[in-house]
């Protein structure tokens, strides 16, 4: 029986190899979150691969998910109702399906790095009067409203010590001023 020492996230040596080879084939950021590692495209915000003690989750587009599930033994759809399509593979199946998992992880990083298509602007209805006297409705594209966040007020600093922000009551929290 092979026994190995697990690392802090509980990943097997195959997972460490997967992460190393993924870094060699794609430009990624790896962020530890609790006992898991989240892999995203360099500078990106969308999750491509999640490595956790139980296995690996890979973001797969819905069209590729069915083929991945059929080809990779032991894989399953994490949440069938989730449109992001995270496909999971338990740790016991990683060694058996290593090449397919690595290819899917590289593709997930590439897909998540690509900019998303902008949603079509909403159309607003306008009422028009036709030549026959009836009214009709036509659709006109409305420009999306840009909302600027309100600026935060500068915190008031104690005028005596000039070190602490004043409390809501106007007193210095140090207790010495």
* H or E, element range at 33: strand 28-33
> In this model, does residue 2 exceed pLDDT 70?
no
Q: For residue 23, tell me if it sits in a domain.
A: yes
**Which tens digits make up the pLDDT trace of 79-130?**
777 766 788 888 888 888 899 999 999 999 988 888 765 544 555 545 555 5
**Predicted local distance difference test score (pLDDT) of residue 82:** 72
Q: For residue 3, tell me if it sits in a domain.
A: no
Q: For residue 8, tell me if it sits in a domain.
A: no
Q: For residue 151, tell me if it sits in a domain.
A: no
> 21: pLDDT confidence band, cut at 50, 70 and 90?
very high
3-7, 64-68, 80-84, 90-94, range with greatest mean pLDDT: 90-94
Say how many domains are in the chain: 1
Q: For residue 159, tell me if it sits in a domain.
A: no
Give the CATH number for residue 21. Answer: 3.90.1150.30
Q: For residue 137, tell me if it sits in a domain.
A: no
pTM: 0.57
Residue 39's domain spans which residues?
Answer: 13-113
Burial of residue 39 (CB within 10 Å: 0-12, 13-18, 19+) is buried
Q: For residue 136, tell me if it sits in a domain.
A: no
Q: Virtual CA dihedral for 80, 81, 82, 84, nearest 10 degrees? A: 60
**Predicted local distance difference test score (pLDDT) of residue 3:** 47
Q: Write phi, then psi, for 64 (nearest 5 degrees).
A: -85, -15
**CB count in 10 Å sphere of residue 108:** 28
> In this model, does residue 14 exceed pLDDT 90?
no
% residues pLDDT > 90 (the chain): 17
Q: For residue 87, tell me if it sits in a domain.
A: yes
Q: Give the residue-averaged pLDDT of 11-21.
A: 81
């Amino acid at each position: 029986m092979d026994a190995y020492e697990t690392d802090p996230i509980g990943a097997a040596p195959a997972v460490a190899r997967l992460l190393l080879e993924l870094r060699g084939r794609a430009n990624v950021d790896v962020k530890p979150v609790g006992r898991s590692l989240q892999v995203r495209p360099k500078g990106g915000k969308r999750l491509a691969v999640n490595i956790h003690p139980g296995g690996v989750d890979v973001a797969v587009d819905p069209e590729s998910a069915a083929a991945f599930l059929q080809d990779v033994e032991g894989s399953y759809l994490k949440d069938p109702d989730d449109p992001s399509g995270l496909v999971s593979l338990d740790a016991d199946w990683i060694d058996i399906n290593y090449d397919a998992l690595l290819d899917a992880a590289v593709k997930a990083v590439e897909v998540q790095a690509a900019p998303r298509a902008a949603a079509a602007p909403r159309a607003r209805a306008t009422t028009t009067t036709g030549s026959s006297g009836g009214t009709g409705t036509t659709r006109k594209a409305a420009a999306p409203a840009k909302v600027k966040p309100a600026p935060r007020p500068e915190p008031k600093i104690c005028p005596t010590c000039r070190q602490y922000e004043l409390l809501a009551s106007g007193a210095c929290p140090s207790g010495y001023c």
